[in-house]
Amino acid sequence: MNEIKGTTKLCGLIGNPVEHSISPLIHNTLANLCGLDMVYTTFRVEAGNVDCAVKGAHALNILGMNVTVPHKQEVIAALEDIDPIAQSIGAVNTLVRTAHGYKGYNTDILGLARELEEEGVSLADAEVVLLGAGGAARAIAFLCVEKGAKHVTILNRTVEKAQAIAQDVNAHFQTQTVEAQPIDAYKTFTQEGYIVLQTSSVGLYPNSDKTLIEDEVFYQKAAVGVDIIYNPAETKFMKLMKQQGKPAYNGLKMLLYQGVSAFELWNDVQVTAEQAQEVYTLMKKELGINEE
Ligand code: ATR
């Protein structure tokens, strides 16, 4: 347990609700493992109070903050500075203290990039299919193009939302890499060997038997799948991938590495692979995930 003293630095999570977040486990464990005098807790912040909360945190000498739903967009107006990729995504989940305020980052996306790297999934020159077009898909579409994907197809029930993301990402990178389509467009795909990134909320517990595309043909033509959902640990999407003999990963490492990346930014340290693994094991225990 972290001992709290007069010298102890404080970090925390703002959002609503925040009480059941796994972030305190991630950061307090990392602080212990790295021997840092820092503790992390949660702060429930109501809509409309974000600016006040961020300014107050700075005045209280709080080292860093995470930001979760529903404040990832609203918080941007309260920042002193912002990382360019977080700015283009339009969502911030990590605040790093600077002299006169906080600088905002998007470590959700850094977390996914680290998960993909660890699993050997390379976006460079890849054919990518994004399922869903919410806030997560938007961030992931930016990541795909930034990492050099050859072509990204966003499939979404509401095709206008996919179009808006495609337009923004293409305009930002001055390319035509991202394309928006209704979900059924997979039936006329000419592409094969694609990386599928499942970003929709379909399949999230307790709707664990649901997924956006059931048709095995879609999975036969895929190379690998990553679901950003981690509860359940094996989603229907992952099951369908595996039934076709394709590797599939859940979003737990993305969650781990968004935390690790934030912790590194706040404390100016490098978390080792062994330390990250230790946190990962504790996260699985906390979430009741038994497999490997
Ligand atoms: P975020 O928090 O990431 O912004 P969101 O806005 O809730 O998430 O969007 C989640 C995604 O899941 C969206 O792409 C949504 O599709 P729509 O844009 O058409 O709403 C998708 N989604 C959620 N429930 C769905 C359902 N029952 N069928 C199809 N898609 C669904």
The domain of 74 spans: 9-107+253-286
| Residue type for position 251 | G
Cα of 182 vs centre of ligand 1, distance in Å, is 13
Are both 258 and 230 inside the same structural domain?
A: no
Are both 234 and 205 inside the same structural domain?
A: yes
Identify whether 112 is part of a domain.
no
Residue identifier of the C-alpha nearest atom 18 of ligand 1: 158
Among 5, 72, 253, 284, the active-site one is 72
The beta strands (E) that lie in the chain are given as 9-15, 38-44, 64-67, 81-82, 94-97, 102-105, 127-131, 151-155, 178-181, 194-198, 222-227, 248-249
pLDDT tens digits, one per residue of 112-147 = 999 999 999 999 999 999 999 999 999 999 999 999
CATH number at residue 151: 3.40.50.720
At residue 1, the pLDDT reads 62
Identify whether 102 is part of a domain.
yes
Are both 236 and 257 inside the same structural domain?
A: no
At residue 107, the pLDDT reads 98
Give 289's pLDDT tier (boundaries 50, 70, 90).
confident
Cα of 273 vs centre of ligand 1, distance in Å, is 34
Is-catalytic flag, 242? no
At residue 2, the pLDDT reads 73
- On average, the pLDDT of the chain sits at 97
Answer whether 200's CB lies under 8 Å from 131's CB: yes
pLDDT tens digits, one per residue of 55-64 = 999 999 999 9
Answer whether 22's CB lies under 8 Å from 286's CB: yes
Are both 126 and 228 inside the same structural domain?
A: yes
Are both 31 and 89 inside the same structural domain?
A: yes
Q: What is the mean pLDDT of residues 247-251?
A: 98
Are both 216 and 257 inside the same structural domain?
A: no
Q: Can you say whether the dihedral through the CA atoms of 179, 114, 126, 84 is positive or negative?
A: positive
157 lines ligand 1 (CB under 6 A): yes
Are both 57 and 131 inside the same structural domain?
A: no
Identify whether 177 is part of a domain.
yes
pTM: 0.95
User: Over 80: is that where the pLDDT of 292 sits?
Assistant: no
Identify whether 281 is part of a domain.
yes
Identify whether 115 is part of a domain.
no
